[in-house]
Amino acid sequence: DEILQDLIDHSDQQHSVKLSHDFHDGIVVWVDGARHLGVENVPEPEIQRLIRAAVAEWERRSERAR
């Protein structure tokens, strides 16, 4: 979520977006208080793109840390 928040801060995105993990549902995306199960269920394509970019950056940093 930290990487995503940084990307949002540097974008034109005006929505409140938070990521969380639920033991049963997996990734939960909160957009303006609305709960979406999984990135693919977020109705705004730009928010989906930002989340995928944040995941890619997290994976890149994780690989570098090894």
1-19 in b/e form (b: 16+ CB < 10 A) is eebbeebbeeeebeeebeb
pLDDT at 65: 82
Q: What is the pLDDT of residue 59?
A: 94
Q: Buried b / exposed e across 20-32, counting CB within 10 Å, b at 16+? A: eeeeeeebebbbe
pLDDT at 64: 86
pTM value? 0.87
Quick check: 66 pLDDT over 80? Answer: no
pLDDT in tens, 7-49: 999 999 899 999 999 999 999 999 999 999 999 999 999 999 9
**Tell me, what's the pLDDT at 45?**
96
